[in-house]
Amino acid sequence: MHARLLARGRGARMQPGAFRRSQNWIGRTRPGNARFVPAPPEYVQDVMASLEAFLHKEKLPFSALIKAALAHVQIETIHPFLDGVRYDGDWEAWLDFFLEGVQVTATGAVDTADRLVTLFREDAQQIQNLGRASANTLRVFDALRSRSVASIKDLRRRSDLSAPTVGRAVDALEEMGVVDEITGRQRDRVYVYRRYLNILNEGAEPL
């Protein structure tokens, strides 16, 4: 991962994918006046091996979340690569920050999941009112739930329906406001399950 992340730009000069072979430090001009100096390069292999052993250890007196937080801060402390940041040794504050972030993210994920379940249920109920066409339209709708942006070709492959049947189902979904066509073309048209995507993209720039 390190090699891929630093393959281009300034990172390409940071020995991507390899443990450092020289001393690094954080802040100021040299190790003697630096704010933090990690282990000398000749120790990196050994301390990373110890960290790996910690990661594989199953019986620990704390939760997996604490283990993940400690592993992260230890990577920062070891500084095995030439890039990265580590300013102080306040592990308790880092753990508080990490766990609060997990809690906020998890709570947001649960809320998003609940809203998506409600959206899917409401739209499925609307589709069931189509009568005979509802079964095939629901199959296309299920394909859109697994991938919210798709072409007729994509939907045909994932629903295992013929192109005319998928086309009629998409027309019905578009009329109900479930999907929008986003290319404006007559051929190779692409449809988006807009409300689904908007829920996923909250906090980011929508399509």
- CATH code for the domain of 26: 1.10.3290.10
- End position of a domain, from candidates 89, 120, 139: 89
- End position of a domain, from candidates 39, 60, 89: 89
DSSP assignments along the chain, one per residue: -HHHHTSSGGGGGS-TTS--SS---BSSSSGGG-SB----HHHHHHHHHHHHHHHH----SS-HHHHHHHHHHHHHHH--SSS-------HHHHHHHHHHHHHHHHHHHHHHHHHHHHHHHHHHHHHHTTGGGHHHHHHHHHHHHH-SEEEHHHHHHHHT--HHHHHHHHHHHHHTTS-EE-S--SSS-EEE-HHHHHHHTTTS---
In terms of domains, do 114 and 196 share one?
yes
In terms of domains, do 10 and 72 share one?
yes
Please check whether residue 206 lies inside any domain of the structure: no
What's the pLDDT at 90? Answer: 63
Please check whether residue 169 lies inside any domain of the structure: yes
To the question of pTM greater than 0.75 for the whole model, the response is no
- End position of a domain, from candidates 89, 122, 144: 89
Domain coverage including residue 162:
110-200
What's the pLDDT at 201? Answer: 85
- What's the number of domains the chain is made of? 2
What's the pLDDT at 16? Answer: 84
Please check whether residue 182 lies inside any domain of the structure: yes
Along the chain (207 residues), what's the average pLDDT of each consecutive run of 10 residues? 77 82 85 87 94 92 89 89 61 76 87 93 94 93 92 93 94 94 88 92 61
Please check whether residue 143 lies inside any domain of the structure: yes
CATH number of the CATH domain containing 142: 1.10.10.10
